[in-house]
Structure 1
Amino acid sequence: MKLDIKEIMTRLPHRYPMLLVDKVLEMEPGKSIVAIKNVTINEPFFEGHFPHHPVMPGVLIIEAMAQAAALFSFEGNEQVNAADQKLAYYLVGVDEARFRRPVVPGDQLRLEVTADRISKAICKYSARALVDGQEVASAKLMCAIRVLED
């Protein structure tokens, strides 16, 4: 299953400048995803990180992987939609994070995430980000689903 940006925006609550997934190339609901984040010099974080040598912050690479995870985790589940304003999908844990090389303007991040465990409350994933076929980052992610109070 493939998704364009319009379809992604119906599934995630994030918007500019925090929407970090541009396209989904492959998705197996509840199991895995391959998504793309195009990194351009127009990203607002490059103004300060760093003006003389722009580098995408590692925490935003992690966030991009977590957003990709949210897209496939509940696809087809009528009871859970990460874009639902009555639910919150929080990144609550990052383990074994590794950053192997800087991500710079012009790079295209390929986000590959697989589910280790998905439940109604806690989800665990193995994630990695690649540029030109080379791994630039990887991590074990944990996300939680919470019902928001009015």
Structure 2
Amino acid sequence: MSQDILIDLSSLDLNKVLIGIETVRSVIPHRHEMEQLNGIIKFDPEQKIVVGYKDISNEEFWVRGHIPGRPLMPGVLMLEAAAQLCTYYYKKITQDERFLGFGGIDKVKFRGKVVPGDKLILIAKNTELRSRRAIFDTQGVVNGKLVFEGVIIGMVV
């Protein structure tokens, strides 16, 4: 994957929620500490892209212990947030009610930090879609800066 952002974010109103948390919850089963997706900003099946977000607060379960005094969002949670976005896309496109879990991750690079107060913009571009597997190029962006990228492989569980 390259360092180029998958979509021109200036073409989006990053504060305009297309699909809110209640609709996300109707598709994504994660709750409590594992709920890592707050909403969807863009859903474009024709371009095979979905953009969502996670507002990072001081109330996140990891803030107290993941670098006390200097909390940093763990990379695995950034990937989990992106995976939940991928799952939303997969379930809406396929209408499959089964659980889409991690089948693998590849080419992951962390390029910046995510801290309380940030809005983590999540981008997923579908590159392969089958009945039991989906592959996405994913990225996370904070304040216009790429903070992570990687390929997520989802497998029906």
TM surpasses 0.5: yes
Amino acid at match of 2:105: V
More deviation, 88-97/68-77: 68-77
Aligned residue number for residue 66 of structure 1 = 83
Q: What is the alpha-carbon distance in structure 1 between the residues aligned to residue 141 and residue 86 of structure 2? A: 15
Q: Which of 47, 54, 61 lines up with 1:44 in the alignment?
A: 61
Deviations 1:98-149 (A, max 9, x none): 0011111111000010001011111111000000111000001101012xxx
Q: What is the alpha-carbon distance in structure 2 between the residues aligned to residue 74 and residue 63 of structure 1? A: 16
Aligned residue number for residue 106 of structure 1 = 117
Q: Which of 15, 25, 36 lines up with 2:41 in the alignment?
A: 25
Q: Give 1 or 2: higher strand fraction.
A: 1
3-state DSSP class of the match of 1:70?
helix
Aligned residues: 140
Q: What is the alpha-carbon distance in structure 2 between the residues aligned to residue 47 and residue 9 of structure 1? A: 26
**Cα displacement (A) at 1:47:** 1.2
Relative to 1, partners in 2 of residues 1:16 and 1:29: Cα closer, same or farther, differing over 3 Å? farther
- Structure 2 unaligned segments of length 5 or more: list them: 1-16
Aligned residue number for residue 106 of structure 2 = 95
- Structure 1 unaligned segments of length 5 or more: list them: 82-86
Amino acid at match of 2:22: K
**Cα displacement (A) at 1:65:** 0.5
3-state DSSP class of the match of 1:47?
coil
Query: What CA RMSD, in Å, does the superposition of the two structures yield over aligned residues?
Result: 1.5
Aligned residue number for residue 138 of structure 1 = 149
* TM-score, structure 2 normalization: 0.85
Relative to 1, partners in 2 of residues 1:124 and 1:76: Cα closer, same or farther, differing over 3 Å? closer
**Cα displacement (A) at 1:76:** 4.9
3-state DSSP class of the match of 1:98?
strand
Q: What is the alpha-carbon distance in structure 2 between the residues aligned to residue 2 and residue 29 of structure 1? A: 14
Relative to 1, partners in 2 of residues 1:62 and 1:23: Cα closer, same or farther, differing over 3 Å? same
Q: What is the alpha-carbon distance in structure 1 between the residues aligned to residue 138 and residue 152 of structure 2? A: 7
**Cα displacement (A) at 1:77:** 3.5
Q: Identity of aligned pairs, percent?
A: 26
Q: Which runs of 4+ in 1 moved over 3 A?
A: none
